[in-house]
Structure formats: C-alpha cells, structure tokens
Amino acid sequence: MRKKIVLAFLIILMLSMPFGASSEEEYNAEEHFYRGRVLSINESEEQQHDYFTVIEQELVVRLTSGPYRGETITIINTFFAGDPVYDFLLKEDQEVIVVTIGEEGSFDQAYVQDMARDRGVYYLVIVFVLALLIVGRMKGLKTVITLAVTIFLIFKFLLPLLLEGYNPILLAIATASVAITFTLLVIGGLNRKSVVAIVGTITGVTVAGLMAFWAGSIASLTGFGTHEAQMLYFMDHTIDFRGLLFAGIIIGSLGAITDIGMSVSSAAAEIKQACPDIHFKELTIRALNVGRDVMGTMANTLILAYVGAATPMLLLVMGYQIDWLKVINMDIIATEFVRGVAGSIGLVAAVPVTAVLAGYFMGKKG
C-alpha cells in the first residue's frame, strides 16, 4: 500500500508540470502544440528507485503540422514503467502531440504530451455521417444539419455563456428548446405533428430539470461530484456548480425525450391518417399506448447510458465491498442517481403531455 501511495504521489507531481519547466515564469509561459511522428528511438535509460522505475527515451521526432512542418527535433520522453495508466512507452513511426514552451519556434523545452488520437475520432465521425446519408438519404442529410446546429448551439452559445456566469438551468432550457424546435421542424416539417412533439419534448426536459433541482436540493448535491468539476472550480470560482449539474442533466436527457416526443406525435399522425374520423379521446388513448411501449425502452436507454459511463466507479464500489449506507450518501453516487432518475421522470412526463396534445390537435372533438 505504501508503495502505491508513493508512486501515485510521484505520478501526480510529475504530470502536474511539463518536463523542463524549472521556474514559475517557464511554467506560465505560452505553449505551442504540434503533430509529430517518431522517426527513431536512439536509446532508453532505466533509473531504478525503491518503489518505482523511471524510463527515459531519447526520441527523434519530425513535425508534421504547423509552420515548422518537416523540422526534426530530439525529445526526452520520461515515464514510469509497469504502470498501465501512465505507461507512455513510444514506438517508431508513432504519431504524437508535441508541446513546446516559450517562444514559437523554440524547441529547447519540448516534450511529448500525448499520442495523436484525433484521426481515429475523425474517421469514425466520417463513417457515421456517410451511414446517415446512405441509409437516410434526404432524412439523413437533415439529421446531419440538425446535429451540426445542435453542436454549434452548445459550443458557441451554451458553454461560453456558462463560463461568463449566466444561470446554467435557464441557459440549458433555452438551448434545449431552440435545439428541439429546429431539429423537429427540419425533420418533420412545419405541421401539427412537429408542433405537438416540440411542446411535449420541452415539457419533458423542463420536468427533468425541475426534478433534478428538487432532488438535488434535498440531497444537498454540491456539483463537485466529478474531478472535472473540481478542476473547474480552481479555474473559475464564479460558476454556479450546482446549477451546472442540473444543466448537464437537462442536456443529457434531451436526446431520449426528443425521441419519445416525436415517436408519440408521429404515431398519432399516422393513426389520424389511417382513421380520419377518429375522436379526440380515442386518438389520445392510442397515442398514449404507443408512448407507454416506447417509454419502457427509452427509460432503459437513459439509465443504461449513465450506468455505462459509471461502470468503473461501480466496480470500485463492489470490489472494495463498501457499505451501502456509505455508498448511497457519496456525492458522486447520489449525483449519478439523480441524473438518471430525473431524466427518466422527464421522459415519462413527455408521454401523456404529447399524447393529449396530439389527440386535441389531430382528433375530432365532440
């Protein structure tokens, strides 16, 4: 246990500052990032210590991006051996991200920050877009457009305003409402079906946010249940972290609630088309039956998405056989429970609202 504690401390200390930074001025100096390829590894040196082994690799790296593309530099890569978390053993012809400290073009203080992983992400996104276009055709193109607009709203509207200290819950509801309206109007067109789906989805998202706020207040959630939130606190103290937690729940539940809102509304529209003389009450009941079926699968989807993200944490809890009373009162565990259940409640609330609206606007009234 002592060995693990010492090793963990050294790893954290080592990762907290870039190699070669020997003063506060150097640590705060400007960083420049480049893509590079490892041409060769000249030599490796092992330094044996009591509880760990440090390995140094001398790398010859050719820069493949930026204004100094094609230039070759030598970098010392240092890492701990036998640690799968921070084991950074590089090989020849491997793409890496190189960071330099100081003036641009000065490679006196250069180190390998990480392996280059972005190409795999880009290739997967391209395959996803092509699959949408091939299978969905015009609908697939509309889906790509709505996805792009939703991403634009999040990165150009929601996140910047959150950093400026605006109310996270109101921002999340506003962003979700705009994204929902645009998405459903583009995919479904301007008609009663789309309007009903929009109102039902916004209702469900709002309910999810209110439930999260209510349960979070009772459970005294702090908003610091993740390491990212804790790091963000030291960057900016003005952000409302509890509100940020609830805003994340609203955005996280948006997709599933939109699916169920559009499913119920679309089913009601199809029923109306097949039976033009159907009455308001009967159409509402039939739409509600469809919503109940979809609700079961969507609730599972939402809960399983959160469970999948929290699997390592759940394994830690089970592996160390922590008492349930302690587990359920941990901030991070309670946060995940509230996140999943509040989103599911919003999903459930969207079903009857959408069904009643569909029956009212599409069915015949007595």
State the DSSP code for 320: T
Pick the range with the lowest mean pLDDT from 33-37, 244-248, 295-299: 295-299
pLDDT score, position 20: 38
Q: Which residues pair with 73 in a beta bridge?
A: 61
266 domain residue, yes or no = yes
| Shared domain check, 338 and 255 | yes
55-103 pLDDT per residue, tens: 787 888 898 888 888 888 888 877 766 666 666 677 888 888 888 887 7
Q: Which of 84, 116, 148 is the last residue of a domain?
A: 116
| Shared domain check, 153 and 70 | no
208 domain residue, yes or no = yes
Pick the range with the lowest mean pLDDT from 253-262, 300-309, 332-341: 300-309
Alpha helix segments (H runs only) across 189-236: 192-218, 227-235
Is the predicted pLDDT of residue 10 greater than 60, yes or no?
A: no
**Number of compact structural domains in the chain:** 2
pLDDT score, position 5: 38
pLDDT score, position 11: 39
In percent, how much of the chain has pLDDT > 90? 13
pLDDT score, position 88: 67
| Shared domain check, 232 and 86 | no
| Shared domain check, 73 and 166 | no
123 domain residue, yes or no = no
Q: Helix (H) and strand (E) counts for the chain?
A: 13, 5
The helix (H) or strand (E) run that includes residue 14 is helix 2-15
- Residue bearing the bigger pLDDT, 104 or 247: 247
| Shared domain check, 151 and 226 | yes
pLDDT score, position 86: 60
Q: Which of 85, 116, 147 is the last residue of a domain?
A: 116
| Shared domain check, 162 and 95 | no
128 domain residue, yes or no = no
| Shared domain check, 8 and 145 | no
| Shared domain check, 358 and 288 | yes
First to last CA, the chain: 75
| Shared domain check, 185 and 79 | no
The CATH number that applies at residue 45 is 2.40.50
Rounded mean pLDDT, 287-307: 81
Rounded mean pLDDT, 126-137: 92
In percent, how much of the chain has pLDDT > 70? 86
CA angle 111/113/118 to nearest 5° reads: 135
The CATH number that applies at residue 351 is 1.20.1640
122 domain residue, yes or no = no
Give the domain range for residue 102. 2-116
Is the predicted pLDDT of residue 126 greater than 90, yes or no?
A: yes
pLDDT band at 51 (very low <50, low <70, confident <90, very high): low
- Residue bearing the bigger pLDDT, 144 or 226: 144
Cβ atoms 299, 348 nearer than 8 A: yes
| Shared domain check, 162 and 63 | no
| Shared domain check, 196 and 89 | no
132 domain residue, yes or no = no
Place of tokens 């309670």: 334
Predicted structure pTM score = 0.72
Pick the range with the lowest mean pLDDT from 45-54, 97-106, 109-118, 305-314: 45-54
pLDDT score, position 83: 62
| Shared domain check, 283 and 153 | yes
Rounded mean pLDDT, 298-327: 78
Q: Are strands 110-115 and 95-101 parallel, antiparallel or unpaired?
A: antiparallel
Rounded mean pLDDT, 293-318: 77
| Alpha carbon distance 189, 187 (integer Å) | 6
| Alpha carbon distance 262, 197 (integer Å) | 5
Q: Which two structure tokens, joined as six digits, stand for 96?
A: 């890496």
124 domain residue, yes or no = no
284 domain residue, yes or no = yes
Q: Which two structure tokens, joined as six digits, stand for 305?
A: 């998405």
DSSP states of 45-73: EEEE-SS-EEEEEEEEEEE-SSTTTT-EE
